[in-house]
Amino acid sequence: MSTLENTPAPADAAGIALGYAPDVAAQLDADIAEIMSRYPAGHERSAIIPMLHLIQSVDGYVSPAGIALVAQKLELTRSEVSAVATFYSQFRRHPAGEYHVGVCTNALCAVMGGDEVWRAVSEHTGLGSDETSADGRISLERVECNAACDYAPVVMVNWEFFDNQTPASAVDLIGRLERGEDVTPTRGPETVPTFRENERLLAGFEDGRADEGIGAGESSLRGLRLAREHDWKAPTQEEDK
């Protein structure tokens, strides 16, 4: 590991010095200050994850300049910031597409046809996992789990759910994105935001769309409804004794 990687970024390093345009640097400074203000004094390094999402909302990935800026603001080394950015799969290390498509091929999704969905979208786009189209429109990721097993097989676009997919429906979805058409997720906002728009949301800046569309779907709520119909309740601590 290089000496540069283990050296804290200079305290006076600013967004402009790192190559950001003055207006972008000013907005980043303001947004980073707001993110850091959410944490108690002395615990500002806890802001690293939302700050990395903020960087992705500007650069489309966790860029070297973004890593340096986060390191400077949190008084960390670039290595410490890079360690977080490489640990979590939502952080991209090269530019993601405007629409980042994740196809789950783990366990239940695979049993229900996730591998066939993956092959279809990969053949349609000519992309492999963690690759981005030449026009920057689409990127693909083979995902280990989309945390939506009750709707397998599942595809996500910029972290929004498209449930119960088939190879044909997934290819149609990507074709619509490639043509610039709005698409509506199974659950979530009325139309899919761009990658950068959703990254800003993940950084903690509301987009005003929280009440749009469907929240939890019928399959997710079925157990709760059955419990209410039969008056089933979780055992209390006293009952466990």
Annotated binding site for [2Fe-2S] cluster: 104, 109, 145, 149
Burial class (CB in 10 A: 0-12, 13-18, 19+), 192: buried
Question: Alpha carbon of 27 to those of 24, 103, 186: distances in Å?
Answer: 5, 34, 33
Which residue in 79, 95, 105, 104 sits closest to 138, CA to CA? 95
Q: What is the DSSP letter of 150?
A: G
Q: What is the DSSP letter of 77?
A: B
Which residue in 72, 110, 70 sits closest to 91, CA to CA? 70
Is the Cα dihedral 207, 208, 210, 212 positive or negative?
negative
CA distance 194 to 207: 12
The torsion angles phi and psi of 51, rounded to 5 degrees, stand at -65, -35
| Binding-site residue set | 104, 109, 145, 149
What value, to the nearest 5°, has the Cα angle with vertex 198 and ends 194 and 202? 165
Q: Which two tokens stand for residue 90?
A: 């939502």
CA distance 7 to 2: 9
